[in-house]
Each structure stands twice: as C-alpha cells, then as structure tokens.
Amino acid sequence: MDKLKLGIDDAAGATVVEGTAMDCRRLIQVILAGGSGTRLWPVSREHFPKQLIGVVGDESLLQATVTRMKGFPAGWEVAADPVIVCGEDHRFATAEQVRSIGVTARIVVEPARRDTAPALTLAALAACADGEDAILVAMPADHAIADLAALHSAIDIAARHAQAGEIATLGIPPTRPDTGFGYIRLGAPLDHGAHMIERFVEKPAAELAGQYVASGNYWWNSGIFIVRASVWLAALEQLQPEMHAACAASFKQATRSDEYFRPNASAFATSPSDSIDYAVMEHLGKPGSPFKGVVVPLEAGWSDLGSWDAVCDAMEKDEDGNVGSGRVLFEGATASYARSEGGRLVACVGTNNLIVVETDDAVLVADRSRVQDIKGLVSRIKLAKSPEADMHRKVRRPWGFYDSIDNGPRFQVKRIVVNPGARLSLQMHHHRAEHWVVVSGTALVTRGEEEILLSENESVYIPLGVKHRLENPGRVPLEIIEVQSGTYLGEDDIVRFDDKYGRS
C-alpha cells in the first residue's frame, strides 16, 4: 500500500494529512461496540453485552445505532457502510445482527480491549485506507436517542467544525446533578449554541455535580465525537505517540476476510489503554496545542442506558410510574421496573422503587438508588468464578446457539440449534462422549471416517476421542438434543481441526 492509502508514513509512522480544510463533505459513521455493560447484569453479560440486546425495544441497541444516520440532511454524503469496532468475542453476533437489518458494515475486530481511543484510531486508519480523509461520526453502540432529527441537526453543526480541522463532540445540557456522567466545562460561545471546550471533568462527587449543574457552565459528555480522520490521527500522534505507533503497526500488519478486518494482535497489545476523553479531548485548548475542541448541544432524548434506573427512565411508564418488560404483573406497586427475560411470570406486589430482572439462570432485585453497585456485584461473581458473570445459559455461536438445560455429576444435556447451511468445527474431546438426537430438521454428521445423514427422531453416538462434526445441510433450522457424559464437561475440552469461522 502507498502512504495515502495507509494514512501513515511507512518509514517514520507519521500521519499523512492531505487535502484542504473545507473540501470534505463525506461522513463515515463509526460505531464503538467494545463495551461490556456490567451495570445491566444479568441481561448483559461479558460474552453478550448490552449493545447486542433489545434493552428498550425489539431491536438491539447496536441495530438502532447502525440505522441512526439514515435520512441525514442533504449536502452531506453519508457512507453506506459504517465502520464497527468490536471485540473478538462479539464479532459473529455483531455481523449477524447488522446483516439481519440489511446493512453491510466494515467490521474491525479489536485483538484486545484498549478502551475507546485505540478503537477510534483503528477506525480512522480504516477510513483513510481507501485514500480519503472523511469526517468520522463516532458514537457508542449502546446508547438510546429518541429524536433523530435533533441528533442530525447537532451532527450537521459539529461536522462543519470538523471540516475546519476542529475536534467536535456533542454535549447534553444536564437536567439534574448526576455522578454517573463525565462533564464538559463550556468555553467561549460560538454560533448555533456551540462552545469552545474549556476542559473535560470526569465523574464528580454528588456535591460537585450539583454545583456544575447550578452554574450552567457544564454539559454532560455524550461520548459522540465528530472529527476528520487525519485530524484525529495527527492529534493522537502528537499527544499519545506510543498509542499511535502501536495502532499504526497493528493496522499495517492486519489480515482481512470477507466480513472482518483484523489488526495484528501482538502489535496492538503494546498500545496503552485510554479513553478518547483522557487521551485527546482533555488536552485540547491547552497552551501550545494546535488542536481545538468544540462542543455542540444535543437535546434529543439521549440516554447512555448506563444502569437499570436509566433504562426505566427511558421507557414509557404506567400511571403508577412502573415499567414492565415481558411477562410482568404489578399489584399496588409504584416506581418499579420489572423484566422477565427467561419467560417466567414476574409479579411485583406492593414494591416501591425496585428493580427486578429475571433471566434463565439469575434474578436481580435492587433498590433503584443502588443500581450503580451492580458493577461491584458482578466483580464478586467473577472472583467466585461463577459462569453467570460471563455467559447466559443460552450461548450464541456463529453457527446458531446452544442452551444447557440440565446437568449433574458426569452428565450434561444441551439443546442445540444449527442455522441452515451452518456447521460446527471438526473437533474431538478428551474427556467426554456425546449422544445426539435429532428433534427437527436434517443433520449431516461426520464421525471418524463416516458421514451419517439423520432425520427427525434419529440419533448417533460419538465416542470419546473420535473426530466429529455436526452440519445442517437443510433449509430449516436443525434442532438436536445432546447428552454429554464423562469426567469433565467444560467448554475448553475441545480440540478443533477445522473451523469455517476461524476459531482456534
């Protein structure tokens, strides 16, 4: 690749900045989808976080974010294929969800979590890879925005500042003191209600948050940033040269497939971990800095959905202030949120100011004033090595999903659903044997040197240590019941010999 396509100088790693300040009318949506969302446990888990879940509606937060730039004002060219930066564990679900709503995306797979600044840097390098210097509209994948017209208007203003080489963000005029948000101190006023950024302030204590709101000089930090790709890379190179070098090297050594762009893991691992705010934004406007920061007001029903209390606030309530999702009944309850995720009836009688969330394998009951403590609770669950911190009972895989429906000493029973045309890896186990019974659909089974075609109500036995594979050659989902037996039944007892999804 030449210098322009890479966006970096091959010899020195310096950022290439070409073109004039006001000639860019192209916007590329960048979706930062690497979060874990622990405060929305037990629905949000490490391996299936909140951006992949329909928290406030039928579509997932990721899907809602992907379509957020549709209908953008005329005069701008919005790239049809957004750039999505996500983690290795979430790449299959991310691709599937985007594909299901008819969108083609460029998915950049982070080799490791390094926070939002390296993630945006990878997206900026990807945006420059085709020889263009577009304006990036970077937004988290796990927020809710009610008024898209107001969002578009704010981005339109911010993009004009980005054209001129400034780094813009959207700020939320606060409605209350809140210790869960970062704040932006407003500088000199500009047109259209915008301000220069004086400084960023991390999440304050309650008394200080009250002072910020009372002063009228602070807005909440939305986490939405608008900046030209070359400007971001130049700012990062000056302010965080080690991070810039690591991301550039990782990008140059990346591998590509039909759906994924995969930066080099070892190079990326050398990058410091830092947020956009800390790495760049808090340095803007300081003496000697050539980069300017601008904050544009956003009043569009924004919520970061950072807690169950925030989810409750974002949803329509009954006359008693309650919110129910799924099979939920309220009797004499007030200001309560209840969610039935696993299908069981959740009944709240006489509750006040409570959060109740039910899943297949966990139930959360919390006072709404204490929802920020859920993050600490999840840390304790992880320390105890309990699976409920990381995975649901129903585990999604690139070929479909499995649901662990029963287990005991030396046995486990799973319901496995394989999508049409999908297949599991060719694998074997050291410690367990398996018995498969077809419930519906058609199964093509590889067992050693055999290939066996099974229909409904037929079964096959897979002895311990034998190579095997399950495949769905049909046009409808394949559903089987798997009975495992052996001395160890953990998911890490898998030796893969071949896998179409690139898993090791």
- Which single residue is written with the structure tokens 């410690």? 431
| Residue 504 belongs to some domain of the structure | no
pLDDT at 29 exceeding the cut of 70: yes
| Residue 264 belongs to some domain of the structure | yes
Query: Considering its fold, how many domains does the chain have in total?
Result: 3
Please check whether residues 356 and 481 belong to one and the same domain: no
Please check whether residues 184 and 325 belong to one and the same domain: no
Please check whether residues 231 and 331 belong to one and the same domain: no
- Three-state DSSP at 462 gives strand
Q: Please identify, among 303, 318, 350, the residue that sits at the C-terminal boundary of a domain.
A: 303
Average pLDDT over residues 319-326: 97
More confidently predicted of 196 and 342: 196
The CA-atom distances, in angstroms, between 306 and each of 30, 54, 85, 213, 441 are 20, 14, 20, 20, 41
Kindly report whether the peptide bond that precedes residue 463 is cis, defined as omega within 30 degrees of 0. no
Q: Which amino acid is at 61?
A: L
Q: Which amino acid is at 300?
A: A
Q: Where are the alpha helices (DSSP H) in 258-350?
A: 265-268, 276-279, 308-314
Helix (H) or strand (E) holding 4: helix 3-6
Predicted local distance difference test score (pLDDT) of residue 23: 64
Q: Tell me how far apart the alpha carbons of residues 47 and 322 are, in angstroms, rounded to a whole number.
A: 30
Please check whether residues 166 and 205 belong to one and the same domain: yes
User: pLDDT category, 97, cuts 50, 70, 90?
Assistant: very high
Predicted local distance difference test score (pLDDT) of residue 1: 27
| Residue 7 belongs to some domain of the structure | no
Please check whether residues 486 and 399 belong to one and the same domain: yes
Tell me how many degrees the CA angle 285-288-291 measures, rounded to the nearest 5: 45
Please check whether residues 174 and 99 belong to one and the same domain: yes
Predicted local distance difference test score (pLDDT) of residue 259: 81
Instruction: Express each pLDDT in 413-467 by its tens digit.
Output: 999 999 999 999 999 999 999 999 999 999 999 999 999 999 999 999 999 999 9
| Residue 13 belongs to some domain of the structure | no
| Residue 17 belongs to some domain of the structure | no
| Residue 58 belongs to some domain of the structure | yes
pLDDT at 130 exceeding the cut of 90: no
More confidently predicted of 57 and 458: 458
The CA-atom distances, in angstroms, between 76 and each of 25, 96, 205, 455 are 5, 29, 41, 54
Please check whether residues 107 and 84 belong to one and the same domain: yes
Please check whether residues 358 and 400 belong to one and the same domain: no
Minimum mean pLDDT range among 6-10, 52-56, 77-81: 6-10
Q: Please identify, among 250, 281, 303, the residue that sits at the C-terminal boundary of a domain.
A: 303
Q: Please identify, among 354, 383, 412, the residue that sits at the C-terminal boundary of a domain.
A: 383
pLDDT at 11 exceeding the cut of 50: no
Please check whether residues 131 and 231 belong to one and the same domain: yes
- Three-state DSSP at 398 gives coil
Predicted local distance difference test score (pLDDT) of residue 12: 30
Please check whether residues 85 and 39 belong to one and the same domain: yes
Predicted local distance difference test score (pLDDT) of residue 179: 86
Q: Which amino acid is at 51?
A: Q
Predicted local distance difference test score (pLDDT) of residue 128: 81
Please check whether residues 128 and 160 belong to one and the same domain: yes
Minimum mean pLDDT range among 18-22, 201-205, 307-311: 18-22
User: pLDDT category, 20, cuts 50, 70, 90?
Assistant: very low
Please check whether residues 215 and 351 belong to one and the same domain: no
Domain that holds residue 155: 23-303
Average pLDDT over residues 90-114: 93
**DSSP characters for 77-140?**
EE-SS-EEEEEGGGHHHHHHHHHHTT---EEEEESS---HHHHHHHHHHHHHTTS--PEEEEEE
Average pLDDT over residues 354-377: 95
Average pLDDT over residues 159-184: 94
Predicted local distance difference test score (pLDDT) of residue 257: 80
CATH number for the domain harbouring residue 423: 2.60.120.10
pLDDT at 14 exceeding the cut of 60: no
Closest by alpha carbon to 120, among 279, 13, 255, 290? Answer: 279
| Residue 15 belongs to some domain of the structure | no
Instruction: Express each pLDDT in 457-482 by its tens digit.
Output: 999 999 999 999 999 999 999 999 99
Predicted local distance difference test score (pLDDT) of residue 4: 27
CATH number for the domain harbouring residue 30: 3.90.550.10
Predicted local distance difference test score (pLDDT) of residue 13: 37
β-pair type (328-331, 346-349): parallel
User: pLDDT category, 284, cuts 50, 70, 90?
Assistant: confident
Please check whether residue 107 is in contact with residue 246, taking contact to mean a CB–CB distance below 8 angstroms: no
| Residue 187 belongs to some domain of the structure | yes
Q: Which amino acid is at 491?
A: E
Q: Which residues of 55-83 are buried (b: 16+ CB within 10 A; e: fewer)?
A: bbeebbbbbbbbebbeebeeebebbeebb
pLDDT at 5 exceeding the cut of 70: no
